[in-house]
Amino acid sequence: MQKLLYLGDVVPKSRPKVGYGHGYLPKRYVDNQLGLIQYFQAHLKSVTEYPVSIHLEFHRQNAKSDTDNLAGAVLDALVKAQIVLDDRGRYICASCARVLPPHKKLPKGFCLTIKDNPLTLENSLFYNLLIHTQGEFTNVR
């Protein structure tokens, strides 16, 4: 398990803009990504066993941030820093992100937890529910 506390602002993931015939990301987002990548490379080890689960807890001074876009920015930086190979389901079996309520005394930042989470048939929720409900769902489409 790896845990990390990052103090600083996270620029939410944004859609590429189009100009002069090609797409580009806003400079503020790109600069923030470079900072996150360097921080991750300095403080985290590359994951070698997959899948993993990732938990993110953000603190911001305003609660208007879209949690998915904040998590997307962090996941993009983890992939670019080569901490995780990819952010698809084959590599990350569970991710959870939440934004804490605003509190003026707490700094901006986030807490990241990466856990080894070998998903096997025996420990899957789907498999266990199927065993315990034998026959109840046989004709459900």
Residue 2 makes CB contacts below 8 A (sequence gap 6+) with 44, 45, 112, 113, 114
Q: What is the DSSP string of 41-102?
A: HHH-PPP-SS-EEEEEEEE-SSS-S-HHHHHHHHHHHHHHTTSSS-SSTTTEEEEEEEEPPP
Report the pLDDT value the prediction gives residue 116, as an integer from 0 to 100. 85
pLDDT in tens, 96-133: 899 888 788 888 999 999 998 766 666 677 777 777 77
Residue 20 has pLDDT above 70, yes or no: yes
Cα distance between residue 111 and residue 88, in whole Å: 21
Q: Does domain 2-132 have CATH number 3.40.605.10?
A: no
pLDDT in tens, 37-83: 999 999 999 999 888 999 999 998 676 778 999 999 999 999 999 99
Binned at pLDDT 50, 70 and 90, residue 23 comes out as: confident
